[in-house]
Amino acid sequence: MDFNVERNLHSLINSTSHKWIFVGGKGGVGKTTSSCSIAIQMALAQPNKQFLLISTDPAHNLSDAFGEKFGKDARKVTGMNNLSCMEIDPSAALKDMNDMAVSQNGNGDGDNLSDLLQGGGLAELTGSIPGIDEALSFMEVMKHIKRQEQGDEGENFDTVIFDTAPTGHTLRFLQLPTTLAKLLEKFGEITGKLGPMLNSMMGAGNVDIAGKLNELKANVETIRQQFTDPDLTTFVCVCISEFLSLYETERLIQELISYDMDVNSIIVNQLLFAEYDKEHNCKRCQSRWKMQTKYLDQIDELYEDFHVVKMPLCAGEIRGLNNLTKFSQFLDKEYDPQADNHIIYELEEKN
């Protein structure tokens, strides 16, 4: 095993094989900034490819990070030709599904179960189900896979980067393919026996349950295969150099390994590098940097075969395409506290 791994994400940024990149970690560690930075660097490094950044976090931050409004449909980032963003909104998506169901079912006679499920009650019912955000994100993934299979050039993205919700949500989302595969297996057995009866309950000739289930099963299996292929999918963990954040990162990594997912990159954000900062080197910064160094040493010891990228704490908020682009360069080429120190104050000047 090669332990001399690069302390940057150069190989990932220039990777042409990766289709799905997940960025996740504890709340408040800079997941959105990191995912935006990865997306920008990839888009800059591979101008002929199309990238999509999706936020699956119910508390979306992409619009704030880029300083422009994104919605449930993919929209290009102003100033970039090959990077689009979207924020999955569970309530809006459910409303759309509901409206579609109502329009399709407009001539229903109100007698059967399908009228009850599709005629408006569905959105209210599903909206309150725990984990619906993850399910909708998963549906979005399925849509993209379908588009890729159908060769729909207009909406085709080469790589999708996920700005995920805090750890618990993300793990639930990543468990979905396996859980769904098991569930569909059981459903398959039931529909094999009760298929005709279920079809008649849902309205004769209206919904082919067995057919739909088989189609869903095939899609879920494709996603499961793609998510566990290290050439296609990888997970980038984001943390800060503090105990609880590291502890959650370790938990996340172990869980991802148990799902057979590739994880070999860790971004450590908000580092002070106080000893190299001659101008702004207060006592508080020194003590916090001492604490951060202690945990950084531990990270190096624990994750020696990982790409551990050390990112600086900037003087201002990293918002807007320009600031994000400046900040994100340290993902491709590691931050040099002495040579690059001025950049973290340049960002401040922009705000």
Partner 1 sequence: MDGCTVVIIALIFTALSQLNSYVSEEWKNRVCNQINPYFPQLTIKLKEHTALVEANNSISAQDNYAQWTKNNRKLDKLKKEIDDLKEKLFHFNKSKIDTWNKLAKLMITVPFLLFKLWKGKTIVYTLPSNQMFPSVINGVWHNGFLFVALAPLNWIRHGAIHPAAVTSEGNYISFGISLGIWCWALNTVISTIEFIVNQLFIREKVTAPTIDNKDNEKSSKTL
Chain contacts with partner 1 (rule: CB under 8 A):
243, 246-247, 250, 254, 295, 297-298, 301-302
Q: Given the DSSP bridges, would you call strands 75-76 and 83-87 parallel, antiparallel or unpaired?
A: antiparallel
Of 38 and 266, the one with the shorter C-beta distance to partner 1 is: 266
User: What single DSSP character describes residue 9?
Assistant: S
Q: Tell the smallest beta-carbon distance from residue 260 to partner 1 (Å).
A: 16
Q: How far is the CB of 5 from partner 1 (least distance, A)?
A: 18
Q: Which of 57, 133, 163, 262 is catalytic?
A: 57
Separation CA 317–CA 328 (nearest Å): 13
* Residues 290, 222: Cα–Cα separation, whole Å: 47
Of 232 and 302, nearer to partner 1 (C-beta) is 302
Number of neighbouring beta carbons within 10 Å of residue 229? 17
Beta bridge partners of 161: 21, 53
68 vs 250, which CB is nearer to partner 1? 250
Residue 92 beta carbon to partner 1: minimum distance, rounded to whole angstroms = 41
Smallest gap from Cβ 241 to partner 1, in A, equals 10
Active site residue 57: yes
Tell me whether residue 111 or residue 301 sits nearer to partner 1 (CB atom).
Answer: 301
Contact residues for 199 (Cβ-Cβ < 8 A; gap 6+): 207, 208, 209, 210
- Nearest of 167, 169, 163 to residue 38 by alpha carbon: 163
CB 309 within 8 A of CB 319: no
For the CB of residue 244, give the shortest distance to partner 1 in the complex, in Å: 10
Question: CB-hemisphere CA count at 13 Å for 1?
Answer: 5
Contact 132, 26 (CB under 8 A): no
If the CB atoms of residues 92 and 247 are measured against partner 1, the closer one turns out to be 247
Catalytic residues, which ones? 57
